[in-house]
Chain A
């Protein structure tokens, strides 16, 4: 296709500018995706958190057997709940003794069992975001006195998560705009450099589309190549940084980079490049 040839030739003729744009786009997309990876990993981490979380529903003293049964059924009926196990206070004490092992003399001081009957509630991971509401609902059950769970830990983790999400989105928007702007500026400069040529094209009867197509293609190609550069940096980052980090500090082993991100970058670059060129040429008369 003639337009494609023109676009490639123009990129080649202006290779320094094109390369510069491509690398800036690549670096920006890489930063963008790095932020996305951090957000992704934190999400992944917190998504599994409720699964590990044990929620203990402490039962009211003197609750009747029927009330306890009804409460168990009600909790069990919650879609986010995986299992509900009744733990009698005797069993709880035994567990406690077990955990103290030889030091169980500490418990000898108590004449009677100081513990309560309770439910051990396990939560499915999908229910992550609704944990608080779930706790509220369990609390409102008649036989339940109080609910204990890793509240402060959960709260700070959720705060971190939502903060990170907001930060990620703002950084995302800033960088998306920057990438679009680079494509916009590159295409605009290329367009002005070719003004005389375009004038001749028009005088020879070229349509608006014929004149613009090469520039749309140029913006798109630069965007795609920028995305490829970004993917390259991402891969290098993974190979030389993350893998070593994990080898040295296994605590980061949960960090992972989804493969889709590698394909997403060029696609992202393509869309932004096309968007930038449409913006660059949109208002021009021809």
Chain B
């Protein structure tokens, strides 16, 4: 479950988000849309605790974000899978090691790591690229590596920032299928996108952001 109450965030006096209140239920799959610069990525940064809000309260996976101390932030982050808009892949590590990192950080033994990395690589159809380095991959492939890394930890909340921004229609459908799949298993999924095709005719809730303000919500 994700909840924001009167949340504001400004960068150098410029408001990136102003007075946002929204709520995504446990197990729901919802979208945030709006033009670029609307504040979608900023909203996500607040949710995965990379930034602190100037005002308002944020509740995520049952925790009040402002009340978390530095030892529980890592534990909360393990419950949140993030597809970063800029991927944040480590270019000096192979695709395999990038994805495995999520599990190694959690102290998994290598045998389990291997098994699970291969299974998510299969899900994003990148098994043959396991030993490649990120910079040798196309934008769409890098994006799928990022998605694989975010789902491998079986998070309770999934935040995907423009997850299909670099994908062709074929791959886009595959990826959306994966999101729906993990949502069916109980994961709350929030997807930020400016691509209307992702949510049209889905009957999912969509939040409209523009200039840092919540302009509306639609079923």
Contacts and interface: CB of A to CB of B under 8 A. Distances in A.
A13 B155 CA distance: 33
B136 interface: no
A200 B74 contact: no
B50 A207 contact: no
A203 B102 contact: no
B71 A203 contact: no
Interface in A162-216: 196-197, 199-208, 210
B70 A205 contact: no
B35 to A, nearest CB: 26
A2 interface: yes
Interface stretch (B12-20, B75-83, B177-185, B210-218): B75-83
Contacts of B71: 207-208
A2 B75 contact: no
A205 B75 contact: yes
B33 to A, nearest CB: 24
A210 B105 contact: yes
Interface in A111-141: none
Interface string B82-104: 10100010101000000001101
Contacts, number: 44
A206 B74 contact: yes
B88 A205 contact: no
Given A205-B75, A208-B70, A208-B71, A200 B106 contact: no
Contacts of B84: 203
B105 A200 contact: no
B76 to A, nearest CB: 8
Contact of B74 (A2, A197, A199, A207): A207
A197 B76 CA distance: 20
B48 interface: yes
A203 to B, nearest CB: 7
Contacts of A204: 77-78, 101-102, 105, 149
Contacts of A205: 74-78, 102, 105-106, 153
A203 B70 contact: no
B70 A201 contact: no
Interface residues of B, number: 21
A214 B178 CA distance: 35
A197 B75 CA distance: 19
Nearest to A201: B105
What DSSP secondary structure best describes chain A's contact surface?
A: helix
B90 A197 contact: yes
Contacts of A210: 74, 105
Nearest to B149: A204
A28 B183 CA distance: 60
A196 B91 CA distance: 10
B104 A202 contact: no
Most chain B CB atoms below 10 A, which of A2, A197, A199, A204:
A204
A199 B90 CA distance: 10
A205 B76 CA distance: 7
A196 B78 CA distance: 19
Contacts of B82: 203
A206 B88 contact: no
Interface string A202-233: 11111110100000000000000000000000
Given A208-B70, A208-B71, A201 B101 contact: yes
A286 B105 CA distance: 15
Contacts of B106: 205
B162 to A, nearest CB: 17
Contacts of A202: 74, 77
Nearest to B98: A200
B41 to A, nearest CB: 13
Contacts of A206: 74, 105
B43 to A, nearest CB: 16
Interface in B24-60: 48, 50
Interface of B: 48, 50, 70-71, 74-78, 82, 84, 88, 90, 92, 101-102, 104-106, 149, 153
10 contacts: A196-B90, A201-B101, A203-B48, A203-B82, A203-B84, A203-B88, A204-B105, A205-B77, A207-B105, A208-B74
Given A204-B149, A205-B76, A205-B106, 9 more contacts: A197-B90, A200-B88, A200-B90, A201-B101, A205-B75, A205-B105, A207-B74, A208-B70, A208-B71
Interface of A: 2, 196-197, 199-208, 210, 286
